[in-house]
Structure formats: C-alpha cells, structure tokens
Amino acid sequence: MSAVLIRGVLLYGEGDQVDVLVADGQIAEIGPTVKAPKGADVIEAAGQVLLPGLVDLHTHLREPGREYAEDIATGSAAAALGGFTAVFAMANTDPVGDSPVVTDHVWRRGQQVGLVDVHPVGAVTVGLEGAQLTEMGLMAAGTAQVKMFSDDGVCVADPLVMRRALEYAAGLGVLIAQHAEEPRLTVGAVAHEGPNAARLGLAGWPRAAEESIVARDAILARDAGARVHICHASTAGTVEILRWAKQQGISITAEVTPHHLMLDDSRLATYDGRNRVNPPLRESSDAQALRAALAEGVIDCVATDHAPHAAHEKCCEFSAARPGMLGLQTALSVVVAMMVESGLLDWRGVARVMSENPARIAGLDDHGRPLEVGEPANLTVIDPASTWTVAGAMLASRSANTPYEAMTLPATVTATMLRGRITARDGRVIGI
Amino acid sequence: MRHLLSAADLTRDDATAILDNADRFRQALLGREVKKLPTLRGRTIITMFYENSTRTRVSFEVAGKWMSADVINVSSSGSSAAKGESLRDTALTLRAAGADMLIIRHPASGAAQQLAEWTCEADGSGPSVVNAGDGTHEHPTQALLDALTIRQRLGDIEGKRVVVVGDILHSRVARSNVALLDTLGAEVVLVAPPTLLPTGVSDWGHATVSHDLDAELPAADAVMMLRVQAERMNGGFFPSEREYSVRYGLSDRRQAMLPEHAVVLHPGPMLRGMEISFSVPDSSQSAVLQQVSNGVHVRMAVLFHLLVGTDEAVSV
C-alpha cells in the first residue's frame, strides 16, 4: 500500500495547517511541511479539517434478507462516502443476527468489501421476540467479536428480560443498547403524538413511551451494575432523565440521530412516507433540547439509524410506509449545519460525538483515536467551506429514502481512510 | 378549486357558494319526477371506496347521476387492490382510463391528498380528487352537508353554538366540522371524555372543550352526536357502553334541556340506545334524514364546483 500525504489540513479544524503522512496503516509523521515519499498519493487539503474516522453505532445494512433495499457493499460505500470508518449493523435482518453464524457472516462480508469496519450488533433475544436471551457469549467470542447487543427495531419491553440481559451482559463486558419504546403505548402509532398528528388524523406515539423505558432501564442498569446505551433519543424528557441518571453515576450513554437534531413533525403535512421514522420526528422544542444535550454531553454521540427502504415501501399511504430514513452520507453535513454553524460544537466537538465517543461506548480500540503519530490511520478529511445538494437517487445506498432531498447542506468529505487506505475520495468510492 | 381534500381548504366564499348551490339544486329537483340535469353530461366520475359506506357512496353516485355524469364505482374487494395493487397504481390506472374525477374513501389518513399528488400530470393537469373520508383525518362533504342542515334549520351559521359530542379523537367528521364551522363563524364546543380528545384540540380554531354534556346543552343551537365504535371500548377509552351512554349519550332527559329551536344532528350510522336514545332521532328536533338528503345536494354542488367551476352560475 502506497503512502498518502494529506497536505495543509487543520487537525480538528484548529491551529496551523500541517501535512500528515500516512504509511503502513498508521499516521507516520505530522509537521508543517512533510516531504512526500516517492510514489505517495497526495491529497491537497489546504485549510480543510482532519478528524479521526467517523464511527456510527446504529445502521441497518439489510443484509442478510432485504438486499433489494441495501446490502453490506452498498451500505459500506455510503458509509465511506459519509466519512465513516466503522459502522454497527443492527440485528433486525432476516435471519435475525441472533447467532454467531449470522454475526460472523456480517463481519466477514464487511471485511471482504473493505470500505469500512462493519461490526455486527447481536440481538438481545432470540428472533427479537423479547423472551429468550441469545448466546451473547458465543457471538462475542466469534470472529466478529460482537461488542454490542440490541433488539433495535423493537424494544426489550419485558422488564425481567431486560434486567437479566443487563446483568448477563455485564459479566461478558458487552453493551446492551435499547430501542426505548413501551409497545403498549405505541399500538398503531405512526407519528409523534402532538397537535400536528392529531390534526392530520395520524395515530400518535407519545413521548412517554420512550421516556418510561429510558427511566426504567436506567434504574435496572443501576441495580445490575451494568452499562446501558439508549438508541435514538428523541424527546426533551429523555434528555432530563439521562441527565438525572448520569448525575446518579449510572453507566448510561445515549445517541441522537441527525434527523432528530434537524427535523420536526411539521413535515408530516404532506403525508410523504419518507418522513415516517421510528421514533418519530418530534416537535421543534424537542430538537432544540436534543441539540443542547449533545453540545453539553448529556447525549454522548450521533448515530444515524441509517434505514434504507425501497421506493415501493415508502411511496404509499403514510400509515403503510415502513419507518426509517437514510443517514450515512448526510450525517456529517447535518451535524455541521445544526451544531457547528450554530456554534454549539467546534470541530473537536464533532470528533468527540461522531468518532471518539461512539468508539469508546462500543469498545473499539482502533477507531476514534487521537490524531497523533503512531495511531491507526482511520481518518476523515472534510472540506468545511463547500456545500452540496442532496439527491436521493445519487446516494450510494440502494434505496433513496432521504428526508433531505433537494436540500443544500454544508461540508463535504474530501477523503476517508481506513487503516491508511483511501476508501472514498472526492465523492467516489475506492474499492479494494 | 381543483380538489376537495380538506374542509380547511375552503374559504368562507367557497363554502357559502357550495351551500347556496346545494339549495338551488334542491329547489330545482323538488317535485320533479325525472331527476336529471344535463350539467355533467360526458364527464366520468370514479368512486374508490376502500371502506364500507352506505350513505356517502350512494349520495355521491346519486349526485353524479342526477347531473348526467357517468359514475363508476370501484371497491377495494372487487378491484385489483384485492390482488395487492398499490393505491398509487390503481389511481394512475383510473386516470389513464379517463376519469375526470376520483372520489376516494380510504382507511389511511392522507390518502386523498396523496392521490391528488400522484395523479397530477407533469403539466399540472389530472383528475379532480374529492376526499370522501380518509382515516381519522377529514370528511369535508359531511361537514358541508352538516353546515347546510344547520343553516336550513337555524337560518344562519354565524354566531351559532354547535356542540359536538363523542369520539373526537377518531372522528374525521369532527375534524372537518371544526374547520368548516370555524370558517363560517360558528362557536364549536367539543364534548368528550379526555381519552377521546386529540392532543392540542384546545387550539383547533375557536373550539372549546368540555367534559360535561349537561352543562353545554341549554346554550346549544345545534348538537351533533358522533358514533362511538364498540372497539374503542375494548381499547380502554371508556369503561363500558352503559357508562358512556349515561355520561355522553343524548337521552330524552338531555334532549329536554335543549332550547326549543335547537337541532340534533348525527352523521350516521347511529347506535340507538348508545350515543343517542331510541326516540331522539325520530323527534322533530332531529335533522338526521334531512342530513342524508342534503348530502346528495351538497355533493351535487361539490361536483359542480370542481368540474364546472365556481364562476359559473347554476342554471337549472
């Protein structure tokens, strides 16, 4: 593998321009002027931002089972183009990722594609049915070394099952991630329960369905001495519960999606199925609270909940549309638009919430590392001054269900590097 | 006006013109043995009913036929929908088959609005779409016929106090009525247990909310009883039919609390003995059957407005 010289970048968007030499999969040299070795690939990036490669704790890559909507190759391409070097693929596939056979397949397939480390998330319960714990220990010990378990898509609703899962996972040193949705409070729900959905005649998903589970699981984690991670926090009330739990010293972490940072339920008026997502788009006051919580650290990280669906699953009655939105290629730009341009986060903050914190939460030791000599070269070069206009059909995903269609967003990814190899450059994927 | 998707889309002038024309159609047909006007000759109207309906489907069909339109009925069970065809494809098929108007009743909220978008050609042309009830969203022609009935009984709508009672949460009739009555200057009072009231309902137009029916009746000019579906009880929205009937039913005792001029409405189908007593619908205060016949005339006026235009005067 040839060396790569990244010229003129600002580490974390700070300080003076430096040259960064990458060789043998590592950061080899950082200095004001580094001479390019013979044959080195040079990335001219004067004034651009260098961050550790982005890490996404929450994607749905649909393989195995729904390859018509996405697969590990197309999802990996979207991830690389979006600046990611590691993504976690949820277990709600078909078959479900509830055994080492499936989780090892996902890991190996990701390595074969080679664009991004695809870490499978194991299911907490067999078949996501909420009853019997999966063989977490065997999945953790397999090739994939599964580090995180979740029934995402559905909630581990039974409090006794959740208690046992937390206790058991603590013994393995793995993480349980909860899709917080009390199912009895969301029967038939298709949209946030608020004035907009009420007028539109859409059955409501109350905030309490999320918040009651977050509160319950915080207390269960406290008593089990376990860690718990809350997927896609979506309400202002969840933020307050997280703040309380952290103040108690409970090992709780949480993620927020880009769409919950930017969008709200005023979009529902068109009945466009692309706006259906779970948890639903909330009110603008919730989005504001989520942005503040991310800046403050009450919410630890951004995760996309990248959820591809084919056109026929979205272009239908709103209540029949499958919930979920694309997120991998737009996440960074949305975070820049909502958090950086507003002054809530600087670029070091972006590195924290999109790389360092998610890597730490999941226990990855080779991602989210400092930008220092000797560290693995999992890197993202970002042009903060450029803008782009989103077109679903142009995204690398096999599906096109982006909620940002035709929106012009700030910041583009100039290059992504995985262990020193360029995986995406100037909007093009570079396969192995 | 191209489509009728929501009562909220109607201006006061639109709504008044439709009600005026409905009265003209009623007058024109009064006592006629041959109920046939040539107004919509050569126009093709397709009704798409994905839910059971008697009065709405029949009144649209009668309205179209009395105006000489070709009316074709499609139902979900007898169409390609039963074979798994998407709503969009069915709509595009009916457009291609030459529909000038699509009238849709569908269990999904927003279906009519989506249909209007899907069938709009690149040049902006395409069939008119009429919402004949979409999920728990809206039923604008029901609101128009209710408004017509109130106007006929009370002489005017402006300043009248209309008490709407029942399952507001799941009622498309209530949503459309609140919007239209607000536009026409009525005061609306919504009476229901808190479990059957939508979030944020107190901000709907100038509607006020009450849980006490007895307190609202003496000042009511009109009272509109909504059907309460049995499955709501199983959903735990209220404890029993008996308790619902006692607290929110229009009993003979409650009817006696109404002012003499007040009118009783029900969009149907009624559950006598549940939300309304056996005898109230047959009393002189009841306008239940007048609502049905107004339904035909209002729908004639709606078809006229969408297919001929508001600028044209009705000549009959």
pLDDT digits (tens, 9 = 90+) for B127-174: 999 999 999 999 999 999 999 999 999 999 999 999 999 999 999 999
Chain A nearest C-alpha distance from B135 (Å): 7
Q: Can you tell me whether residue B14 is helix, strand or coil?
A: helix
Q: Does A318 touch chain B (CB under 8 A)?
A: yes
Q: What is the mean pLDDT of chain A?
A: 98
Cβ under 8 Å to B: A residues 199-228: 199-204
Tell me the residue ranges of DSSP E strands in B76-205. 101-106, 128-134, 161-165, 187-191
**pLDDT value of position B137:** 97
Find where tokens 């109130």 sit. Answer: B150
CA B206 to chain centre: 20
For range A99-127, the mean pLDDT: 98
Whether the pLDDT of residue B314 is over 70: the answer is no
Is B108 close to A319, i.e. CB distance below 8 A? yes
| Average pLDDT score over residue span A145-153 | 98
A41-57 mean pLDDT: 98
Q: What is the band of A200 on the pLDDT scale with cuts at 50, 70, 90?
A: very high
Task: Record the pTM.
Answer: 0.95
Band of the pLDDT at B204, cuts 50, 70, 90? confident
Amino acid, single-letter form, for residue B121: E
Q: Please answer yes or no on whether A202 and B109 come within 8 Å at the CB atom.
A: yes
How many beta-carbon contacts under 8 Å exist across A and B? 59
**Angle at Cα A206 formed by Cα A194 and Cα A219, nearest 5°?**
145
> Which pLDDT score, from 0 to 100, does residue B315 have?
60
Residue listed under structure tokens 């009651």: A212
Q: Is the peptide bond before A279 cis (omega within 30 degrees of 0)?
A: yes
Whether residue B35 contacts residue B62, with contact meaning beta carbons closer than 8 Å, is answered with no
Cβ contacts (< 8 Å) between A271 and chain B: which residues? 109-110, 113-114
Q: Is the pLDDT of residue B312 over 60?
A: no
Out of A204, A270, A312, name the one closest to residue B199 (CB): A204
Of B88, B136, B203, the CB nearest to A201: B136
Q: What is the pLDDT of residues A317-356, one digit of tens each?
A: 999 999 999 999 999 999 999 999 999 999 999 999 999 9
Q: What's the complex ipTM?
A: 0.92
Residue of B nearest to A273 (CA): B114
Residue of A nearest to B114 (CA): A271
Q: Over 60: is that where the pLDDT of A65 sits? A: yes
Would you call B110 and A194 a contact, using CB atoms and an 8 Å cutoff? no
Percent of chain A with pLDDT over 90: 99
Q: So what's the pLDDT on residue B76?
A: 79
Nearest residue of chain A to residue B89 (CA atoms):
A316
Amino acid identity of residue A413, one-letter, is V
Share of chain B above pLDDT 70, in %: 97
> Reduced to 3 states, what is the DSSP secondary structure of residue A87?
strand
Q: How many CA atoms lie within 13 A of A326 on its CB side?
A: 33
H helix or E strand, kind and range, residue A57: strand A54-59
How large is the average pLDDT for residues B86-99? 95
* Beta strands B208-210; B222-225: pairing state: unpaired
Find where tokens 């709200």 sit: A264
Closest of A164, A120, A21, A197 to residue A362, by C-alpha: A120
Residue B81 has pLDDT above 80, yes or no: no
Given CB atoms, is A317 within the 8 Å cutoff of chain B?
Answer: yes
The amino acid that residue A55 corresponds to is: V
